[in-house]
Structure 1
Amino acid sequence: MPWRVGRDLRQLSQAANRVLERIRAPHNPLCVIAQPLHSTRRLLWPPAVALKFKHSHAPTAGNTSSSSPDHVSQEAGEPSGLRTGGSKEGAGGNDPVSHPPPPEVLSALTCLFARHPTRCTMPDLRRSRTLHVVPLLRHPVRGPALVLHILKSNGPDFALWTLRLASEVGQSFPVTFYGQLAALLVSRKRWRDVLRVGHLARQSLGHTTTALLNWRLQALMEIPHFVPVEEALALFEKEGVAPSRLTYHLLVSMHLRNHDLPSALGALSAMESAGFPVTSMTCAIVMLNYRSCGLTSAIKAQALDALRTTSNGQVASAILNGLVQLMLDAGDMSGVVAILSSLTQVPEDPSSGLGASFTPEDGAADESANLAAVTPTSLTPRPDIVDVTTYNILLEYLADQGDLPRGIRVLQEMRAADIRPNSRTAAALAHLYFATGQANDALHVVATTLVNLPAAVSVLPRLGFTASIPPEQPIPPPTRPTIEIFNTLLLGTLRDHGLKGLHAVLSMMRIAEVEADATTLTVLLSHKHRRELASPRELIRIVRILMSQGVTPTMQHLHVLLGVLLRQEREGTRARGWHVFPHAKPEPSEPITEELVRNAYSHPIAGITFPTRRKHRNLLRPIVQSLTDRGVQSDRVVLGMRIKQDAVIRHDMEAATQAFRAMVDSGIQPNVYHYAALMEGYAQAGDMEAAEGTLRSAMEAGVRPNVKAYTILIFGYARFARPSMAVKVFRKMVAQGVRPDVPAVDALVSAFFRAKAYGMARRVLLRLWPQVAPLEDEMLEAPLRDLAVAFRELHVANEARERLTSEEQRALRGAIREIAKTWNDVTRKGLKGRKRRSARAVVTRKPEYTEALGG
């Protein structure tokens, strides 16, 4: 029949066009040679060879479930841990070639988009006399190519508008094209646009596929909007498609990120019931997303067992990187050294390889003690699974610690392993250099990412960048600018230049076409509160204004807002100066319903209430409601705030321990912050035995106490004028290799002040001052009050310091022995019976300084 002949002719024509377009497509080169632009005397990255071949697949509803279960895709060296197959799921094999469309067509479409930004129909085309664009929109190859061209050059909004217009005029896009479009939007992290593509595909095709529904699940997870397992599987059943292994892995990832272990276990059970057994890929998924819950011995054992048995290198890399991240979060650097050493070193030369570079300083006795004893010897050397992500995780940890020497050693090991840095490496290096006072070197790192954007580089001098001064530290080869790099730049710029540098960073982001994310807003909120002294009301209003403009509030934003409110609530009960007064009795909380008690710990704010801040609570309600509607549960940070409110602000240790146990029962592992909150509550209640017992419990659980935890104990003994016990705790802290900071030394000095040994307090301060910062000669004769004020000015909130070296430990041990001997001599001579000099003034603590005493 004529209509059938015409249909067959059209199909043959489309196939011929696709073949011709493929033949005309230029071949990708096998490799590119990338030369570093910057060099240093210490380190020079050699030219790197990067393979560019990427095979594409077209998984559909029929073949997604049969994908290789033990394969992890990689994008720029970073394992996604979610997608199966060699490329993004849903990317079609018949890729449309991006031919530049005629200028008159682009001009006409641009005018139509300006007139009808939401939707353009055929009558609108007739009225505007732009029907000449219809043949191109309907073309089976040129139509999809036009959409892709607009996506790459004009952005997602215009591209999806064109996609809808092409469907209006009769274009029928193949299902693989929608998958390819979704993959491109995922690479740009345009999650809401991924949802729009899935909706348009459902409208145009009349059905959907497993691949498109999986893209939808991933987009919901990243927004974040957490969907119950039953609801997600019901949607697949409603659409008549079968869930794939990837579907269940996405559900496991989603609920692990949401700190919901029961739902994650339910997804694993449903996966096994559907005929997908647990594999090493599943273990990799768990390791990549278990960070929010904390490291457990069972998870560590399963990861090590998977590393022994997994033959797939990418899966093994994902498992290793997840395990390394969990162990570093727990402060277990020695364990990380042991595992990396066993995987990279050859038995004949145990001093070489990766582990040697990460050996802690000699003074850290707990880290340097016989690593061979804790090394999992059953692991066979597999240096191939240590990839760029492993080095990035280590660099980020060392940047948080402010450890520049070991950071440089990581870079040297990277070069020896012939691993090319990526944009995450650049962000970690910039963070490390900002944290260690190498601001110009950090800006050199940022400049390398903007090497192809001279307009953005020209803005850097406004932030203090001097291009003529060569970098003192290693600078990686150029990488593309990402939001992580700009967030690091913003953090360092706000600290050094305040809000004056904000406009410079935002202008560079506009030039680089990089959009802000939730972390960007979190950095701004934190800075505005800490440095600009913004009120909680002002910060909450900023978030609500951004919500009205389409910004989705996240738990990161809630962390800042709750922290500000709790800090303000604590101001009325905080001890000031070295004189400690009784705490004011807090106002009773409002009665809480039984339903609220039952769901308190899973609620986004974990049952935290502000009975004396009704206006703030009302302002906060829309933000909390947005999180609740998206199924977001409380996390470790919010639960720690709940424990701290009960223990420190409300002095209700029974409620605090109940919250602590509820958190542990839910599967979330406590860290040093949670133990420190309990310790501070016990210390304020005068139960120092329970406070020290909590510290011992933390150490038995594998949690390494930090300087703030020890400072809480020192300050607790100081409140009761027990300098001998305070010195004993200080000695334990130094023995553990923990570097004392300004609050720790000041707390020790306050113990002697409370004992009215003012001369001894001054002597201790002068003796320990050089261990924290250089002591000026003119301060040697200053009175105690002036010394204390000047010493406290040296403290920087949230400063990162590396652990003590062996020489520093010896010096501090000598100082502590001298202090203890002097104090014993003084007490034996009967200092308490002599006439004491009265202190004429009480030194008042700075708010951010008192926060470092566990606040």
Structure 2
Amino acid sequence: MLGRVALAFKLENPTSVQRLTSRPCRFIPSRHSLTCIRFLVASVKRAQNDPIPPAQSPQPVSVSRVIKACRLPPKETILQLFSKIPQNSSRVKQLEAIPKLREYFLDPNNALDLLYELASSKRPQNALLAINISRKMGREVGMTAYEVVVHRLGVLEDWPLVLRVIQSAWHNVHQSTPALLNWRARALLETQHYTALNSIFDLFKLNNFSPTRRTHHLVLSGYIRNHDLVGARECLRNMAAAGFPPDHSTHALIATLYQKIGPDEQVKEAGIQSLPHIHARAATRMMNSLMQLRLRIFDLDEVFHLLSAFDQRKVGPLALMLAASRTRHDESVQNPSVYRAYPTTVEPDAVTYAMFIDYFADLQELPNCLAILDHMLLAGIEPTMRTATSMIRAYFLGGQGGPAVRMITAMCDPETTSPAMFQNVPSPDGHALPFDVARLGPPTRAVFNYFLRGVLSTNGLPGAHTVIRLMRCNGVKPDSKTSEIITSHTHRVERAQPRVLMRMIRRHSPRFTLQEAHIVLASTVRYQKFLVDGVGWDVVAAKFSPTRTAGVKPYPEEAISTVQPHFDPLAGIQLPRRARHRGTFRAIEQSLVDRGIKSDRATIALRIRHDAVVRGDMNSATEVFQAMLARGLHPNQYHYSALMEGFVKAGDFESAVDVMKAASKARFEPDVLMFTILIVGYARRKDPEMALRIFRRMVSAGIQPDVPVIDAVASAFFFTGTYDMCHRVLTSLWQHITPLPPDIDKTSLKSAAVYFRSLHRGQQQGSKKTSNEFRKTLYRAIAGLLKDWRAFKRKESSRMHRASLEGNDV
């Protein structure tokens, strides 16, 4: 299927992907991985005969036919020329041949309107072509024309084209304006060219302009987005020296952007104090950002306090739904009844409601998502594209992809998109629209990217091919986020090798990002963990057995990643010398270095896991953790989990539990991953009773079990050699997350375990909390297993005691 995705991205030679996936490798794939690889190779062959949609292969159009068929006013005729005639020379000839069109096109009063319309079309680059045509015909456009085009492109968030237009203005006119320079700073910020962004003041000086407060705020935003708090502090000092001391708008900006760094009480309080002094839209944006951060970490007490700053007539139902959902999952919790007073009332917008749709979507509570949408409409707030993306995500997480596909069909252009194109996606038939999505206009790149995530979860890579074709038919170009989504799925679900991921990124991504580099590094670390620890119950049991020899082949030290002296941009991780993708990966690394990108929290978490789990160097792992804190970055559950896994592997369970407690104090409640790490540790110590106790603690906390944690509990009994008990534990806990298949009791332990693990691929990875009834039922099942295990131990101890006595008698 890599070939089909490559074809949709206009990959000229998809057979190279076939050769890549068919080569032998050192990685030992599972049966599921082998099936995926065979499917990928077969799909490449089928892709060679895939028909391209007619909309993507337009036939040449006669110029005279366009002019005769149009018979429109000059403006519409010129727009038709740019939309229907692909050759620039033909456009010029037609404009010069018809005096009426030439006069209209070169009229300065009409130029701005034409450029705005062209920049708003499906091919916004035609606006820049129109400027160049005007210059060829002897009419030099002014700087206002460039500003109109850039402003429109900025609204459409076509940042690479913004940079091209500004560069063209400098090349043609040899000057710029403060507005264009600020737009250049914004485009550099959005495309993550932080090195060029930090030198924007030199361009202001070169053009004899003075930077504005907005310029300084854009540079400050770049430092915070780049996780460079040292540079952000220096930027604040430079602002004050330039006559722009930090004001309320500055504090609001920092509070809005700080969610990438982590929760910080001082930043939050400074932002709240600025509420009466900033614009209403800025206040809403800041409060949304503060609340979204708390929703992501399930800090609901703080969410209630922040929600009290909004107009209660509009957000009151949100607070009631949040309290009801919280009480339903935990009857002992007390929702706050006294809220803090805020200096002003904040008006909610569509993003406010979309955040709560996202929250309940994570809990897989689709009815609540639909109820929030109804409350938003009753409050008089019009849906936006952000609302559409949240509803698409909610439908897929709720297991109903059909309504999401129905939304996409209503938004796509019917002239270029036919119902036959919606193959390998959930059927939209029989589903109603949640609201009038057609009023939002054509789907944006963000809408398609959210749709792509959902389709990948239900239909895999065949569905991705369909989404890419739909994007092309609607004039939407895939971006780095699109490439990241597909590559991440191929890494997590298809479990592709690092070199395959590297090839995908180099072929598909228009701009290398740190997130794409993180995917390649994560795949590399996973492969190295396989080399060090092996995979499967039997291999692990042999490693910890005093009488057996593990069948893990020795690996050379050159196969393990090393550490380089430069911490940025990859947190100091250096690919092993024997890695086949090391040479091609240098292009990504060099691109990140050239753009001045710093390590983010996800990359640092990967470095901690690499040092703690792969290299077994807990001193280095803790040093990296402290270095992250020194940078001002706040840890999250992934950093704590990486430290826990390292301590458990080293046998230091006390330190692992201390890390879990530290995470809880930092308002990161232990999740299923943390409990799984502890259970795996006790399983390898051959302590099934303790593994069951830890699992019972997790269930008592209301955490939804998944396939890996039940697999870990069952493995504890496998390692002790009690295979019948292992089979019973597996089937007893299995039925609490998914129905048992028929005749599972008659299958072998190996067959049952392999089938059970295959369920993890399709399991929803939400944050759903369990109900009290579910907890009680599962708690009784665990108590029964503990009782049976203790009885088995007593019986086994008695048998061994009798055998010992009989041996002494002999």
Shorter-chain TM-score bucket reads: 0.7 to 0.9
The match for 2:231 is: 263
Q: Structure 1 residues 143, 470: CA separation in 2 closer, same or farther (over 3 Å shift)?
A: closer
Question: Whole-Å Cα distance in 2 between the matches of residues 438 and 332 of structure 1?
Answer: 28
> What amino acid is aligned across from residue 358 of structure 1 in structure 2?
L
- Residue type at the aligned position of 1:819: L
2:730 is equivalent to residue 765 of structure 1? yes
Q: Distance in 1 between matches of 2:693 and 2:610?
A: 29
Q: 1:156 to 1:679 in 2, by over 3 A?
A: same
Aligned residue in 2 for 1:528? 490
Task: Report 1:448-459 matches (<5 A).
Answer: 448-450=410-412, 453=414, 455-459=416-420
Residues 1:393 and 1:99: Cα distance change in structure 2 (over 3 Å):
farther
Q: Distance in 2 between matches of 1:459 and 1:287?
A: 47
Give the equivalent residue in structure 2 for 1:406: 368
Closer, same or farther: CA 303–761 of 1 in aligned 2, 3 Å: farther
- Between 762-771 and 217-226, report the one with greater CA deviation: 762-771
Q: Is the 2:79–2:118 Cα contact (8 Å) retained in structure 1?
A: no
Separation of aligned partners in 2, 1:495 and 1:116? 46
The structure with the largest helix share of the pair is 2
| 1:377/1:524 CA distance change after superposition, 3 Å | same
Matches within 5 A, 1:143-182: 143-153=111-121, 155-182=123-150
Question: CA distance change for structure 1 residues 398 and 99 in 2, over 3 Å: closer, same or farther?
Answer: farther
RMSD: 3.5
Q: Is the 8 A contact 2:483 2:508 kept in 1?
A: no
Structure 1, 212-221 or 310-319: larger mean CA deviation = 310-319
8 A contact 1:185–1:193 mirrored in 2: yes
Counterpart of 1:326? 293
Aligned to 1:141: 109
Q: Does 1:818 align with 2:777?
A: no
Kindly indicate whether the alpha-carbon contact (under 8 Å) linking 2:308 and 2:339 is maintained by their aligned counterparts in 1: no
CA distance in structure 2 between the aligned counterparts of 1:651 and 1:592, rounded to whole angstroms: 13
**TM-score normalized by structure 2?**
0.81
Deviation at 1:206, TM superposition (A): 4.4
Structure 1: unaligned runs, 5 residues or longer: 1-97, 837-855
Alpha-carbon separation, structure 1, partners of 2:604 and 2:798 = 45
Q: Deviations over 1:6-38 (max 9, x none)?
A: xxxxxxxxxxxxxxxxxxxxxxxxxxxxxxxxx
Following superposition, the deviation at residue 690 of structure 1 comes to 1.4
Q: Report the secondary structure of 2:598's partner residue.
A: coil
Match of 2:322 among 332, 352, 358: 358
Out of 263, 273, 280, the residue aligned to residue 248 of structure 2 is: 280
In the alignment, structure 1 residue 316 sits paired with structure 2 residue 280: no
Structure 1 match to 2:502: 540
Which segment is superposed worse, 762-771 or 701-710? Answer: 762-771
1:794 is aligned with what amino acid? L
Of stretches 130-139 and 810-819 in structure 1, the one that deviates more from structure 2 is 130-139
1:358-382, Cα deviation, whole Å (9 max, x unpaired): 223435449x722216x64223783
The reply to whether residue 192 of structure 1 matches residue 171 of structure 2 is no
Give 2:521's aligned amino acid: L
1:797 Cα deviation after fit: 6.3
- Of 258, 270, 279, 1:290 maps to 258
Whole-Å Cα distance in 2 between the matches of residues 223 and 237 of structure 1? Answer: 23
> Structure 1 stretch 679-688 or stretch 521-530: which is displaced more?
521-530
Q: Counterpart amino acid of 2:776?
A: R
Aligned mates of 1:799, 1:735 — CA distance in 2: 21
Offset of residue 576 of structure 1: 2.7
The Cα shift of 1:104 comes to 7.8
Give me the whole-angstrom Cα distance separating, in 1, the residues matched to 2:679 and 2:136. 72
Choose 432-441 or 762-771, whichever is displaced more.
762-771
Is 1:469 aligned to 2:427, yes or no?
no
Task: Say if 2:252 and 2:270, in contact at 8 Å, map to a contact too.
Answer: no
Structure 1 residues 625-634 or 791-800, which shifts more?
791-800
> How far apart, in 2, do the equivalents of 1:474 and 1:592 lie?
49
Q: Which residue among 671, 676, 681 is the counterpart of 1:711?
A: 676
Asked if residue 101 in structure 1 is aligned to residue 69 in structure 2, the reply is: no
Comparing 291-300 with 151-160, greater Cα deviation is found at 151-160
* Deviation of the 1:571 alpha carbon: 1.7
Shift of the alpha carbon at 1:695? 1.0
Residue 532 of structure 2 is aligned with which of 573, 597, 620?
573
Alignment of 1:691-730 (within 5 A): 691-730=656-695
| Alignment partner of 1:743 out of 695, 702, 708 | 708
Aligned to 2:12: none
Shift of the alpha carbon at 1:828?
Answer: 3.8
Q: From the superposition, tell whether residues 708 and 832 of structure 1 become closer, same or farther in structure 2 (CA, over 3 Å).
A: farther
* SS of equivalent to 2:199: helix
SS of residue paired to 2:164: helix
Counterpart for residue 384 of structure 2: 422
Q: 1:770 to 1:542 in 2, by over 3 A?
A: closer
The answer (yes or no) to whether the contact 1:105–1:133 under 8 Å persists in 2 is no
Q: CA deviation at 1:247?
A: 0.6
Query: For the Cα contact (< 8 Å) 1:402–1:436, is it kept in 2?
Result: yes
**How far is the alpha carbon of 1:391 from its aligned partner?**
1.5
Q: Of 327, 333, 337, which residue of structure 1 is paired with 2:304?
A: 337
Are residue 655 (structure 1) and residue 611 (structure 2) matched? no
CA distance 1:104–1:829, shift in 2 (3 Å)? closer
Seen in structure 2, the aligned counterparts of structure 1 residues 589 and 303 have a Cα distance that, compared at 3 Å, is farther
Q: 2:561·2:575 contact (CA, 8 Å) conserved in 1?
A: no
Q: Distance in 2 between matches of 1:755 and 1:459?
A: 56
The 1:303/1:818 distance shift into structure 2, 3 A limit, reads: farther
Aligned equivalent of 2:637 = 672
The 3 A distance-change label for structure 1 pair 107 and 783 is closer
Change (3 A) 1:278 1:781: same
Going from structure 1 to structure 2, the CA distance change for 1:354 and 1:125 (only over 3 Å counts) comes to closer
* Per-residue deviation, 1:626: 1.2
Counterpart position of 2:522 = 563
Give the secondary structure class of the aligned counterpart of 1:799.
coil
Distance 2:502 2:486 in 1: 13
- Counterpart secondary structure, 1:791: helix
Residue of structure 2 in register with 1:38 after alignment: none
Q: 1:371 aligns with which of 335, 341, 345?
A: 335
State the 1:470 CA deviation.
3.2
What's the offset of the Cα at 1:716? 0.6
Tell me, which stretches of 5 or more residues in structure 2 are unaligned?
1-71, 545-551, 803-810
* 1:354 counterpart letter in structure 2: L
| Identical-pair percentage | 32
Letter in 2 for 1:156: P
Q: Provide the secondary structure at the position in 2 that maps to 1:462.
A: coil
